[in-house]
Amino acid sequence: MMEEKSNIEKWVESGLDSELLRRLKDENPNDIELQKAELIVNGAENLRPNYQTSKQDLWEQVQGKITEQADAQPTTTKQLRFNGWMAAASVILVVGVLAIWRMVAGSGEDLIAIQTNVAETSKVQLPDKSWVVLNAGSKLEYNIDDWSDKRVVHLNGEAFFDVEKGSKFTVNTALGRVTVLGTSFNVKTREEVLVVSCKTGKVQVNNSLGEEVLVLPGRSVRFQKGSRAVESEINSAHIDSWVSGHFYFTDVPIAEVLSELENQFGVKITVSDSTIYEKRYTGFINSKTELSRVAEDICLPLNLRFEINEGGKEIKIDY
């Protein structure tokens, strides 16, 4: 006797028909696997593809994770769940994006991990309908199973959050913790620096030194590893302007600007003299313009010269 197809397989074979999905969810409200598949596919459709990775490489990564999960299941349910996740994974590849999830066998934890490479951003909807936009070179993780009890994400890199009102929402980083109830804010953690900017609502930030700062709209707080918090005003319109490619900097170390340039254009930047890193930059760059124009906008005000190699992948900066 043939085994009945899983709800995931039925949904995939329908071409991700939204009406069928609604009916399956109504008829099977406790089908957690179907709910997870919906979250993964919905999140994946908002990602930009990593054009540096071949489709075969993507398949091998996803297939490996699915196989690990299938091997951890009891024999009576292994094949059905394996086929369902294989089908869902196939859809993700057809969509043409990279949405990697990790199943931690035996621990009861189901983690979703979304990662961007250089020169790409990703817009992701969380299970509570909150939205996150990941900047280039960033990674976001969250636990699906625990989400109804605690809204917690782990961030490495930069992201803008638009959080639905509800229970406490927490962003954990290596340098501190950001807590809100319902608001929009930006979190950036790179090069041992944590910067949190509030656009609407209120944001509470706790750093590794035990400091606690309440950030109000139009305000920003900056934590350097090992140093105390520094608060400042910020133009609210600039907080999430990077989402559309517009980056504003106010008296920041030039190293931070060059790091962002590397992330946005996928280039390698070297300097001829380490004293260049002592310079500070105030200005604006547009990642949608040509690399040479952006490099000029950064270097000219600081009396620096730059040279872009023939392949356009390396920039050398000197006096």
For residue 257, is it left (φ>0), alpha (ψ between -120 and 50) or beta?
alpha
pLDDT in tens, 185-205: 999 999 889 999 999 999 999
What is the per-residue pLDDT for 93?
45
pLDDT in tens, 84-135: 555 555 554 444 333 443 333 334 457 889 999 999 999 999 999 999 999 9
- 69, 85 in Cβ contact below 8 A? yes
What is the per-residue pLDDT for 12?
74
Rg, Å, the chain Cα set: 22
Both structure tokens of 120:
């790409």
Distance CA 300, CA 86 (A): 53
Strands 246-253 and 169-172: unpaired
Domain 108-238 has CATH 2.40.40.20: no
What is the per-residue pLDDT for 6?
82
The list of the chain residues with pLDDT below 70 reads 1-3, 29-30, 32, 36, 39-109
How many helices (H) and strands (E) would you count in the chain?
8, 19
- Is-same-fold flag (108-238; 245-318)? no
CATH class as words, domain 245-318: alpha beta
What is the per-residue pLDDT for 159?
98
> CA quadruple 48, 50, 54, 59: dihedral positive or negative?
negative
Domain ranges of the chain: 1-106, 108-238, 245-318
- 155, 174 in Cβ contact below 8 A? no
Q: DSSP strand E in the chain: where? A: 100-104, 109-115, 122-125, 131-134, 139-143, 151-162, 169-172, 176-180, 184-190, 193-200, 203-207, 212-215, 219-224, 230-233, 246-253, 268-271, 280-286, 305-308, 314-318
What is the per-residue pLDDT for 48?
41
